[in-house]
Structure 1
């Protein structure tokens, strides 16, 4: 091999090695930063809410996560909750909310709980999702005091598309998919795809959908 060509190969090899090392170092620094942020967020929430919140020390909360807890309320968040923020969680007096392990929430998700809301493990929530387990009471002259609430249960491995609204009393089964823009007001069985306003069955997973 010619000396010049050999020299070029050696230089290229060193540059590649240096670049790879920089990538490894940068990736390590990012992971350390995320770990420190996770532990700090855990500490802040535990100091602020004490025993009313159960959260794992390891998570991936990015951006703004606003949590409001009223009296006698409970919030549980599983391991490695991932958010891109802003996200909003409000638990009204005497209500409880549980979010499972490895749940991802894209930006601008809103959860308002007056009764009970559960979200299972490994769920993916796209942007601009609203989950609300209650309505305001309506009288002869309009909105009156009090709420009409029913629990919402979302199973494991559920994918909820962008701009979806989930209303009170709904159960979404394991492995279900809710198409973007849907308004869900009735139960969705396991492993089915629903969409539309109001949401209706499109097909079952594994079936061919014909429009």
Structure 2
């Protein structure tokens, strides 16, 4: 038997193992209360608490090291909602206390931080006693977010937009825009390409 045969067997066994563990994670998180609309491909992710405040639609893929953090009292709507066919790459952190929505068919690069809140700046209070200030954050459909992007509270990113790697998004980005930088600014539109 040649080496390529054994290599193929090993690769196949790894794929089967990942698929089995992904299905077990689906079962586990459903049991904890995460609303999974169909099958979601999941590597080793973390949902520390408030699992009932998270909704993930069918055919999403969540890679290793992703954290879905939902904090606060129960709300009538999901705090974190990820649309169908969206892929979130490794070590991305979604942090919500009000509403963080990601549309369908999105691609989110590794190492991103996306939130719907921050702390106040009252001079009479120490940093950890500052009140939380929240505004809904919304990412439209078919949005492509590069590696290590930060998206702050209250931002809406329009459908078909592209956010360049390392950008910090502090204001709304219109549909089909390509935005880069800190703070992120529109440099052109996809329709111009």
TM-score (norm 1): 0.78
**Which of 36, 41, 44 is equivalent to 1:60?**
41
Could you tell me which runs of 5 or more consecutive residues in structure 1 were left unpaired when the two chains were aligned: 1-14
Contact 1:38 1:57 in 2 (8 A): no
Q: Which residue of 2 aligns with 1:91?
A: 70
Q: Deviations over 1:68-102 (max 9, x none)?
A: 2339x510011222233111110012351100111
Distance (whole Å) between structure 2 residues aligned to residue 28 and residue 128 of structure 1: 28
Structure-2 separation of matches of 1:77 and 1:68: 16
Deviation, structure 1 residue 158: 0.4
1:123 to 106, 119, 144: 106
TM-aligned CA deviation for residue 160 of structure 1: 0.4
Is the aligned partner of 1:198 residue 2:178?
no
1:128/1:163 contact within 8 Å kept: yes
Give deviations 1:19-70, integer Å, cap 9, x for gaps. 89x96x77765654444223211111122x23xx2114523222x3000233
Please give the per-residue CA displacement for 1:2-25, whole angstroms capped at 9, x wherever unaligned.
xxxxxxxxxxxxx9xxx89x96x7
CA distance in 2, matches of 1:57, 1:157: 20
Equivalent residue for 2:121, pick from 135, 138, 142: 138
Residues 125-180 of structure 1 deviation map (CA, whole Å, 9 limit, x = unaligned): 11110001111122123433420000001011100011110000011011000011
Distance 2:99 2:160 in 1: 21
How many residue pairs match? The answer is 187
Determine which of 69, 73, 78 is the counterpart of 2:49: 69
1:78 has 2:57 as partner: yes
* Gap regions ≥5 residues in structure 2: none
| Corresponding residue of 2:25 | 41
1:171 corresponds to = 156
Which is worse superposed, 120-129 or 77-86?
77-86
